[in-house]
């Protein structure tokens, strides 16, 4: 068993090295311009070995994307926050940091740019990423509605409004401009505003919730160090 499991482990490790390399190289140049030599070199292994693990370029791409999905499966994660307003606030920061990280943005650009060539990947990403998160948000918002704290008819729309209010603008901007990384100050501006608007429109007790929000916002730019970069690091802009 030891020998075999060692082999298996070895295999998995090599596979991961290839997938890491593929993520890096594909993110940098896109599917067509990426070349198998570079990926093999980046992985520190040989090209025929690469072909033994993944039968073709497009198989490799697909496999890499499949694995990347894991890193993109954002949860409606709110840490240890308690109370609706703190929870939403926490969520906003977690989410913003993740989605606006260079690695995450590169991957998003890659998916969008190649979606015509690999339509399933676009769909898979939509399902694993945004849609799953959306479900998480919906569940939470629905619970808050049940508790009488929010009012809305369509939970999906409410959830989409929440993230649209927070991230639509900075994300669109970031997709178009790889150089400019959003600072925490930028994020704060978007997040604070987004939450305010959301509460104003959806809270059953806007005055109270907004007051609570303001008190939360007093302290400085939220030293959230790097909840982000959970996605496979190294995918940077280079």
Contacting positions for a second copy (CB under 8 A): 28-33, 106, 109-117, 119, 122-123, 125-126, 130, 154, 157, 160-161, 163-165, 167-169, 172-173, 175-179, 189-190, 193-194, 197, 200-202, 237-238
55 binds DNA (CB under 7 A): yes
Measured on CA atoms in the order 61, 62, 66, 67, is the torsion positive or negative? negative
* Stretch touching DNA by CB under 7 A, among 46-54, 93-101, 155-163, 185-193: 46-54
Residue 211: φ, ψ to 5°: -60, -45
Tokens of 27: 């993110």
Residue nearer to a second copy on the CB measure, 59 or 120:
120
Residue nearer to a second copy on the CB measure, 46 or 193:
193
In the complex, the smallest distance separating the C-beta of residue 215 from DNA, rounded to whole angstroms, is 55
Task: Give how far Cα 38 sits from Cα of 16, 41, 43, 211, Å.
Answer: 16, 5, 8, 55
Burial of 18 (0-12, 13-18, 19+ CB in 10 A): buried
What residues have CB less than 8 Å from 1, skipping those under 6 apart? Answer: none
183 binds DNA (CB under 7 A): no
What residues have CB less than 8 Å from 52, skipping those under 6 apart? Answer: none
In the complex, the smallest distance separating the C-beta of residue 41 from DNA, rounded to whole angstroms, is 10
10 binds DNA (CB under 7 A): yes
Residue nearer to DNA on the CB measure, 30 or 136:
30
In the complex, the smallest distance separating the C-beta of residue 166 from a second copy, rounded to whole angstroms, is 9
Residue nearer to DNA on the CB measure, 16 or 183:
16
Whole-number Å distance between alpha carbons of 204 and 210: 11
- Residue pair 224/93 in contact by the 8 Å Cβ criterion: yes
User: Coil, strand or helix: which one is 203?
Assistant: strand
5 binds DNA (CB under 7 A): no
Cα angle at 217 between 80 and 179, to 5 degrees?
Answer: 90
* Stretch touching DNA by CB under 7 A, among 52-60, 94-102, 119-127, 214-222: 52-60
- Binder to DNA among 9, 19, 21, 49 (CB under 7 A)? 49
Tokens of 208: 């109270």
Residue nearer to a second copy on the CB measure, 147 or 180:
180
* Stretch touching DNA by CB under 7 A, among 41-49, 65-73, 163-171, 195-203: 41-49
Residue nearer to DNA on the CB measure, 27 or 98:
27
């Amino acid at each position: 068993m030891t020998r075999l499991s060692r082999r298996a482990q070895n295999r998995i490790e090599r596979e991961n090295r290839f997938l890491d390399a593929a993520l890096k190289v594909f993110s940098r140049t896109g599917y067509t311009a990426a070349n198998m030599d570079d990926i093999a070199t980046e992985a520190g292994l040989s090209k025929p070995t690469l072909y033994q693990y993944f039968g073709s370029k497009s198989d490799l791409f697909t496999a890499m994307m499949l694995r990347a999905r894991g890193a993109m499966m954002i949860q409606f994660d709110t840490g240890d926050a308690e109370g609706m307003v703190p929870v939403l606030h926490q969520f906003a920061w977690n989410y913003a940091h993740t989605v606006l990280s260079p690695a995450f943005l590169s991957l998003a650009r890659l998916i969008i740019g190649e979606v015509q060539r690999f339509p399933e990947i676009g769909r898979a990403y939509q399902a694993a990423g945004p849609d799953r998160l959306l479900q998480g948000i919906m569940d939470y918002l629905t619970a808050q509605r049940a508790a009488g704290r929010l009012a809305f008819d369509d939970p999906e729309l409410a959830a989409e409004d929440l993230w649209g209010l927070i991230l639509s603008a900075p994300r669109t901007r970031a997709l178009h401009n790889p150089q400019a990384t959003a600072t925490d100050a930028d994020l704060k501006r978007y997040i604070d505003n987004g939450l305010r608007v959301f509460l104003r429109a959806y809270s059953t007790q806007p005055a109270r919730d907004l007051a609570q929000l303001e008190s939360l916002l007093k302290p400085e730019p939220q030293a959230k160090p790097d909840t982000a970069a959970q996605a496979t690091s190294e995918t940077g802009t280079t």
